[in-house]
Amino acid sequence: MISLLKVTISGPPGSGTSTLVSRLSKERNWNYINGGEIFRSAAIERNISIEEFSALCKNNLDADRSLDNKLKQIMTSPKSPEIVESRLCGWWAEELKLDCIKIWISVSDNERAKRIQNREGGEFNVCLEKSRNRQKDDMDRYKALYNINLDDLSPYDLIVEADDKNEDEVFHIVNNYLGG
């Protein structure tokens, strides 16, 4: 059977991927799965913060590997949603040779911190430090686990620089790229 997967959406925390996926899902009547929600749920199950879970995954690679394997199984399933969102799903689609469009949403450290602050509250400098630490932990972990460098965007078909774009602009760029 052929997977239903049509598009992967990736980007760092605070880049707006969750908002984009929600809008694409509504606009196109497509199902989706959010890898960030899987990650956040795993942190909640352990009763720790996302930052603490990210650090735990850095030191316990099996925890991270199991979440990634779960996502790969979903992506290759004949019952896959049309949209999968996660930091590595574009890499997985490339590795698994899945016939789908791979999109990366890019934002600067400062813009990510501003968006995280708007979403979760707190002081900007604290959000910036947490965001940078999480990004570093994640990059170190992905390098150790899979030899993936998140700065290498070669697997992606479309890269949207979103610092100076609002959610409507990002949505329209991606929706237009996906076509009819």
Question: Alpha-carbon distance 68 to 95, whole Å?
Answer: 13
- CA 179, 22, 20: angle at the middle one, nearest 5? 60
pLDDT tens-place string over residues 134-176: 888 888 888 988 999 999 999 999 999 999 999 999 999 999 9
Say yes or no to pLDDT of 1 above 50.
Answer: no
- CA 84, 14, 83: angle at the middle one, nearest 5? 10
| pTM assigned to the model | 0.87
Assigned token pair, 112? 């990510």
Domain boundaries, the chain: 7-161
Say yes or no to pLDDT of 180 above 70.
Answer: no
pLDDT tens-place string over residues 97-138: 999 999 999 999 999 899 889 888 999 999 999 889 888 888
Say yes or no to pLDDT of 2 above 70.
Answer: no
Q: What is the mean pLDDT of residues 22-37?
A: 93
SS3 101: strand
pLDDT at 161: 97
- Of the options 3.40.190.10, 3.40.50.300, 3.10.20.30, 2.160.20.10, the CATH number for the domain spanning 7-161: 3.40.50.300
Question: Alpha-carbon distance 93 to 156, whole Å?
Answer: 10
User: Mean pLDDT over all residues of the chain?
Assistant: 91
Assigned token pair, 44? 């909640």
pLDDT at 66: 86
- Residue 15, by phi and psi: left (phi above 0), alpha (psi -120 to 50) or beta? alpha
pLDDT tens-place string over residues 37-79: 888 888 899 999 887 887 787 778 888 888 899 899 999 998 9
